[in-house]
Structures are given as C-alpha cells and as structure tokens.
Amino acid sequence: MSRVYEVMFIVRPDVVDEELDKLIAGFESTVTTGGGVVKSTEKMGRRKLAYLVRKFADGNYVLLTIEADGALVAELERRLRVSEPVIKFITVRTDEEEKRIAKIKAIRATKKKVSAEVAPAAPAPVAAPVAPAVEAAPAVEAAEPAQASA
C-alpha cells in the first residue's frame, strides 16, 4: 500500500538550470532506488518569496509528486535537509484527500444519474406519494419547497 505524497521544495535562485536539473534527478533517483514511483515533476519556476529565507528574496520552486512509503519519505527529507541549494521544503500526504474527493465525485455522479431518470416522471407525482424506487432525490426536493412555503 503506497502512499502518495507531494513534496515541494525551494532551490536557491543562484543555481544554474543544469545544476537544478541534476539536483532534481538526484532526488528522483533517491525515490526510485528506494522503491517508490515518481508520478510527476513540475518546475514551477522562479517566484518571489513571501519572506526572506536565508537572505534570499526569490527562489526556484519544484513540485514532486511521488508514491512511496513512510521510510522512503523520511530518507528523501533527510536529503533535502542536508542538500545545500534547497532552502525550504514541505511534504504533504495526499492519498487520503484524493480518496475523499473521489468518493464525493462518485456520489455526485450517481446522484446526477438518478435525477436524470426521475426528471421525465417528475411532473405527475409532485405531491403524490413518491415512487419507492427513488427516495433520496425527491425527498430532498420535496423538503425544500415545503421549507420555503412554511
């Protein structure tokens, strides 16, 4: 069961592009040799920092999305901490969040399908006892107008 993490780190602005690429490649290889998968790498470019970090006012942001287990992430963080050009980093675990979002989207998809089926039959049984097949959607719809009129 691999967990998905987002690692964002800032590299000092006075490194050359090639050095930056080498650095990123080094971290990627750390992940892959440790048994993880690098899902994506994104160089977010040079940005102005919101406050001075080690006397730098801007830096190169890099975002790595990886799939790894906890021990590997600890190792990666250790390397980031030790690495001199990296001035800040943050690791965020995202798999639980993704699961939650996917669940919500799935529920929304089923709700939409249900209401699409009910729509043709809706005009007739407005106040009449609701068809037993679909209870959730019409109940909610009936509750709202009832609430508004009350």
Contact residues for other proteins, defined by CB under 8 A: 8, 10, 47, 49-51, 53, 59, 63, 88-90, 92, 97, 100-101, 104-105, 108, 144, 147-148
Q: How far apart are CA 130 and CA 127, in angstroms?
A: 8
Taking the complex as a whole, the smallest distance from the CB of residue 85 to other proteins amounts, in Å, to 15
Six-digit token pair at 99? 């699961």
CB of 35 to other proteins, least distance (A): 26
CB of 80 vs other proteins, minimal distance in Å: 12
**Residues 6+ positions from 86 with CB-CB distance below 8 Å:** 9, 10, 11, 12, 23, 80
Of the candidates 26, 102, 22, 13, the residue with the CA atom closest to the CA atom of residue 60: 13
Are 27 and 72 in contact by the 8 Å Cβ rule? The answer is no
Query: Encoding tokens for residue 134?
Result: 């679909």
Q: Specify the residue, 92 or 131, whose C-beta has the smaller distance to other proteins.
A: 92
From the CB of 16, what's the least distance to other proteins, in Å?
22
- Shorter beta-carbon distance to other proteins: residue 32 or 88: 88
Q: Least CB distance from residue 43 to other proteins, whole Å?
A: 14
- Residue 71 CB neighbours (<10 A): 10
* SS3 label, residue 50: strand
C-beta of 21 vs 42, nearer to other proteins: 42
